[in-house]
Amino acid sequence: MPSYTFDLNGKPVTVEAPADMPLLWVLRDLLHVTGPKYGCGVGVCRACTSHLDGAEIQPCVVPVADCADRKVTTIEGLADGDTLHPVQQAWLDQDVAQCGFCQPGQIMAAAALLRQTSEPTDADIDRIENVCRCGTYCRIREAIKQAAAQTSAQTAAQTEG
């Protein structure tokens, strides 16, 4: 069986897995990293959303072979130790979650969006396809705006400093 090494949440990991094994099952079943959730297996519901080299991916449709020697970040690796990522902090402040199952994916999608667009418009936020069956969308929108405001305030402070 081929073996793949990649960076997972800041630490190198090596797994033996078939080349076509989706990253989602490598994470969940081989590495017991269960933050990314299965919700459809076809890249549609996006409950598994994570980052590959900082960009959004759906690990249920990304084969592990594509991740070799790259950086994989899951919800478990988003915070800086005990310091939450601004998106997580905004999620907490807005009390976004209900059942919580889709929220790791929602947060990773929002973090990827903010990396691309520091001040997302409503239209930008509308393009997020992640399904939330509890219907937390209005709080997600507020949380993204809060995180964007905090991030730009931090950036401004850093620039001045």
Partner 1 sequence: MERQWSRRRFMVYSLAATTLTVAAPIGCDSSTAEGAERADASARPGVLVTGDDEEMLVLEVTAANRVVVRLPRAEVGQGVTTAVAMMIAEELDARLADVDIPLSDARTRGNQFTGGSNSVGSLYGPARALAATARAKLVTAASRRWGLPARALWTKDTMVIAPDGRTATFGSLTEAAARITRPAVPTTPKPAARHKVIGKPTTRIDARDIITGKAQYAGDLNVAGAKPTVVARPPTIGGKIRAVDDRAARAMPGVRAVVRVAGGVAVVADTFHHAFKAKDALRITWAPGPLAALSDTAVRSRLRAAVPPLGAAPSGSTQVTGEFEFAFIGHSPMEVLTTVADVRADRAELWFSSQGPMFARDDIAAAVGLPASKVKVHVTRGGGSFGRRLNHDFALEAALVSKAARMPVKLMWSRSDDLRHGRMRPATHHRIRVSHKNGQVVAFTHALASANEGAVRDGARAQGGVTSALTRAGRGPSAGPVPSDSGLYNFGRLSGNWGSVELAAIPLGAWRSVDSGTTRTAEEIMVDETARSLGKDPVAFRRTTLRSKAVRAVLDKAASAGSWGRTMPAGHGQGIAVHEEYGSCVACLIEIDATDPKNPRVTRAVLAADVGIAVNPRGLEAQLMGATIDGISTVLQAGLHIDRGAIRESSFADFHYARQRHAPLRFEAHIMPSKGEPGGAGELGVPAAAGAVANAYARATGTKPRRFPLNF
User: From the CB of 22, what's the least distance to partner 1, in Å?
Assistant: 6
Q: Would you say 42 or 157 has its CB closer to partner 1?
A: 42
Buried b (16+ CB within 10 A) or exposed e, 25-56: bbbbeeeebebbbbbeeebebbbbbbbbeeeb
Is the CB of 6 or the CB of 39 nearer to partner 1? Answer: 39
Which residues contact partner 1 by CB under 8 A?
17-18, 21-22, 25-26, 28-30, 32, 34-42, 44-45, 47, 74-76, 79, 84, 88, 91-92, 95-104, 107, 122, 125-141
Closest distance to partner 1 from the beta carbon of 118 (Å): 19
35 residue type, one letter: G
The SS3 assignment for 129 reads coil
Cα–Cα nearest to 116, from 144, 138, 156? 144
- We find the least distance from the C-beta atom of residue 35 to partner 1, in angstroms, to be 3
For partner 1, the closer CB: 122 or 156: 122
